[in-house]
Amino acid sequence: MFDPRAIRKDFPILSRTVHGKPLVYLDNAATSQKPRQVVQALAECYESYNSNVHRGVHTLSMEATDRYEAARKKVAEFIHAPSDRQIIFTRNTTESINLVAHTWARERLGQGDEVLTTEMEHHSNLVPWQQVAAERGARLRFIPVTPEGTLDLSTLDSLLNERTRLVAAVHTSNVLGTINPIQELARRAHEAGALMLVDGAQSVPHMPVDVQALDCDFLAFSAHKMLGPTGIGVLYVKESVLEGMEPFLRGGEMVREVWYERATWNELPFRFEAGTPNFADAIALGAAVDYLNALGMDSVRQHEVEITRYALEAFRELEDVEVLGPRDGNLRGGLIAFSVSGAHPHDLGTFLDREGIALRTGHHCVMPLHRKLGLTASARASFYVYNVSEEVDTLVHGLKRALDYFTHAVRRAR
């Protein structure tokens, strides 16, 4: 049985206080908290078998290597990748997308080619394409966002054409919460002869993701948003695509043979992991995957649908609050961004922090979408496996108090 109250016991940080109030952590889309099991996996690595991987014949090195490669297998299985050769460890989603931009895109994009992305991308899935497009004389195009906060797929007929080389889209938006129809986008991309890249930073941690069912060519995500440590991320690449890609960074570990003048490349996926990898954090990511598997990703998703629906319903009581994105809890991930008339999100965030409530405020690294919506910033509550409905009540109560306070402050100022 999925029980967030029992789950909370595995997260020591959740029992701390902030400004004398119990912590209400609702900033999970920025980074999740870590269960004891993950912290212990990290400590165990450094305390019991720390040693560089893929190098020594000595016992510690072999133990570390086995655990690092076991973590890769766990990650592959978690996203239903056909093989662990397709899993490249990076630092985070941002680095994973940059790897594709600096290798595949740089080699494949030419003058007049097009990269089709969307109007709701995190800067991580926009700025790398801006750079490579400028360098290669390619053009960026955008699938528009409807007033409901979904992608306007009716534009695909005109946007997709024989010049489209890549469709790069976010799976779950970190502002609108919208879950995009990746399967359909991938099908349309492939029909047009393009590849499909998915930014899974906000989807992989929160729902079952199957790269074979989606039929995407690239999937990028970060461990730190899925109960894992910071500093480790993943890039999945379809094997046929990966085989044709040149290395990103060069040096030790990614080579097979080296002469003074030249070198040949190691097998997959090591060709893309130059230098000593972040094996300790990868192993701890493996522990996070074990933890999520034990909960069951269907249950994780179900819990978030329920808590998000509960919060959307509760937000209806708040007159001055406008929720961004689709109204239907089934169409969105476990996050709610909102704007408040009469209060700047940062002031709201500071007020709520005094109540022990951690929210994200700002543009959430999605400036163009905020601009399109006529906002400079928004506030965002985002949920995960350990959040309970009472925390939503505390948030709504805090918001009411904040709105009262700021409305009166405005009146006082007049």
Stretch that binds ligand 7TS, among 108-116, 145-153, 194-202, 252-260 (CB under 6 A): 194-202
Which tokens belong to 134? 């400028």
Q: Active-site residue 45, yes or no?
A: no
State which of residues 103, 124, 150, 339 lies at the interface with ligand 7TS (CB under 6 A): 124
Residue whose CB is less far from ligand 7TS, 33 or 124: 124
Mapped onto helix, strand or coil, the DSSP state of residue 140 is: strand
Residues in the chain: 414
In the sheet that holds 360-362, the strands lie side by side as 321-323, 335-340, 378-382, 360-362
Q: Is 18 helix (H, G, I), strand (E, B) or coil?
A: strand
Q: How far apart are CA 134 and CA 225, in angstroms?
A: 31
CA-derived radius of gyration, the chain: 22
Q: Please say which residue, 70 or 365, places its beta carbon nearer to ligand 7TS.
A: 365
Of the candidate spans 100-108, 121-129, 286-294, 346-354, the one that interacts with ligand 7TS by CB under 6 A turns out to be 121-129
Cα torsion for 51, 85, 234, 52, to the nearest 10°? 10
Q: How far is the CB of 222 from ligand 7TS (least distance, A)?
A: 3
Answer left, alpha or beta for residue 196, where phi above 0 means left and psi between -120 and 50 means alpha: beta
- In the complex, the smallest distance separating the C-beta of residue 223 from ligand 7TS, rounded to whole angstroms, is 8
Q: Which of 118, 174, 178, 278 binds ligand 7TS (CB under 6 A)?
A: 174
Residues 266-295 that bind ligand 7TS (CB under 6 A): none
Q: Which of 2, 18, 23, 30 binds ligand 7TS (CB under 6 A)?
A: 30
What is the pattern of x (binds ligand 7TS, CB under 6 A) and - over residues 350-369?
----------x---xx----
* CA pair distance 198, 216, nearest whole angstrom: 7
Strands (E), 109-232: 114-118, 139-143, 164-170, 195-199, 218-222
By CB under 6 A, which span of 100-108, 150-158, 199-207, 298-306 interacts with ligand 7TS? 199-207
127, 365, 367, 375: the catalytic one is: 365
Q: Which of 98, 118, 164, 222 binds ligand 7TS (CB under 6 A)?
A: 222
Shorter beta-carbon distance to ligand 7TS: residue 65 or 378: 378
Tell me the torsion sign for CA atoms 159, 160, 161, 163.
positive
**Given the rule CB under 6 A, which residues bind ligand 7TS?**
29-30, 92-94, 122, 124-125, 170, 174, 199, 201-202, 222, 360, 364-365
User: Hey, which residues are catalytic here?
Assistant: 365
